[in-house]
Amino acid sequence: MTIRFDGRVAIVTGAGNGLGRAHALGLAARGARVVVNDFGGARDGTGGSLTAAETVVEEIRKAGGEAIADGADVSDFEQVTAMVAKATETWGSVDIMCANAGILRDKSFVKMEVADFAKVIAVHLTGTFYCCKAVWDGMRERNYGRIVLTTSSSGLYGNFGQANYGAAKSGMVGLMNVLAEEGRKYNVRVNTISPTAATRMTEELLPPQALELMKADAITPAVLFLLSEDAPTRTIMGAGAGSFAVIRILESEGINLPESDWTPDAIAAHFAEIADMATARPLEGAFQQTQKYIEQAAKAAGIKLGE
């Protein structure tokens, strides 16, 4: 099986460097027409230039592909909608959205300014929402859409000095969960990538030997798979240095306690059993958790549901 994107139009945000550039080049090499979006600012989101995006567009065109540059700031909804409108006017649709743009303003929580928290949330989380919102109606109308959001191990597992970034990146999972459900009947599939790579975002965080292993284009195969026609939906993939994994949020089976034991002391006494992950399983929707707890309570009380 050869995954191709012939006839598809893709937008890749933050595509002037690093991961986004690799994703844009990968999509174009397999036939997609690509909007190379990059605000062109510094790592902390200041400044701005179209040069980086134009350079990637030139690479794609020299290789025989089709691409246009766009400098929209993803934290500005009007600029994002204008970018989608330009792509639609140029090529007729937007079939693929790869939301990759991001900035860093790392500081320990005690030193983090409110503005630094707000700006990172605005670019990563709100900006991703804007990108999805701007393409959503068109994808539903055409009964086709593929979206990849970008989370991070900092959001999934935590990392010192990244309260803003971690909060934004964990929010991607919640956004994916809901959009995947709402898009399912319209053939809009939404997935999330958790990448680890050597980019200007991580170059100061990793030792030189590790940076040599962490090539940006090692992430792109997973992204292209998650954007493909036969992609799954509601899947988190981890990728880095040629390793690929699926990440799932699990919930222990837990126990039901009688009302007389609805105390913090009883929780403490039973915590090992409550936290036993031996029979943990992922839940496929919010109501499944509610249903599980109801069924456990009904069983404990000898109540047969539905009678």
What is the chain's pLDDT, residue by residue, as a tens digit (307 residues)?
699 999 999 999 999 999 999 999 999 999 999 999 999 866 666 766 899 999 999 999 999 999 999 999 999 999 999 999 999 999 999 999 999 999 999 999 999 999 999 999 999 999 999 999 999 999 999 999 999 999 999 999 999 999 999 999 999 999 999 999 999 999 999 999 999 886 555 566 666 776 777 889 999 999 999 999 999 999 999 999 999 999 999 999 999 999 999 999 999 999 999 999 999 999 989 989 999 999 999 999 999 987 6
Q: Is 293 a catalytic residue?
A: no
Contact by Cβ (8 Å): 35, 11: yes
**Distance of alpha carbon 72 from alpha carbon 80, whole angstroms:** 6
Q: Hunting for tokens 């990172």 — which residue is that?
A: 120
Q: Where are the alpha helices (DSSP H) in 12-76?
A: 18-29, 51-62
d(CA 109, CA 159): 11
Is 229 inside a domain boundary? yes
Helix (H) or strand (E) holding 275: none
Chain-centre distance of CA 215, in angstroms? 19
Is the domain of 139 the same as that of 276?
A: no
Closest CA to 121 of 178, 163, 83: 163
Q: Are residues 163 and 102 in the same domain?
A: yes
Active-site entry in 144, 157, 165, 293: 165
Is residue 2 domain-resident?
A: no
Please tell me whether residues 104 and 217 are part of one structural domain. yes
Q: Are residues 261 and 231 in the same domain?
A: no
Are residues 153 and 106 part of one domain?
Answer: yes
- Name the residue range of residue 271's domain: 250-301
Residue 145 in domain: yes
- The answer for residues whose C-beta is within 8 angstroms of residue 211's C-beta and 6 or more apart is 198, 203
- Residue 243 to residues 6, 218, 298: CA-CA distances in angstroms? 27, 8, 44
Same domain, 89 and 148: yes
| Per-residue pLDDT, 44 | 61
CATH label of the domain that carries residue 30: 3.40.50.720
Distance between terminal CA atoms of the chain? Answer: 51
In a domain, 224, yes or no: yes
Domain boundary among 247, 266, 287: 247
Please indicate, yes or no, whether residues 133 and 221 belong to a single structural domain of this protein. yes
Of 232, 247, 262, the last residue of a domain is 247
Is 226 in the same domain as 180? yes
Torsion angle (degrees, nearest 10) of CA 52, 55, 56, 59: -170
Alpha helices (H) in 63-162, listed in sequence order: 77-91, 114-121, 127-142, 153-156
- Domain-located, residue 4: no
Q: Are residues 78 and 92 in the same domain?
A: yes
Per-residue DSSP letters for 2-29?
Answer: ----TT-EEEETTTTSHHHHHHHHHHHH
Cβ–Cβ under 8 Å, residues 41 and 72: no
In a domain, residue 307? The reply is no
With beta carbons less than 8 A apart as the criterion, state whether 176 and 236 touch.
yes
d(CA 27, CA 77): 25
Name the pTM for this structure: 0.93
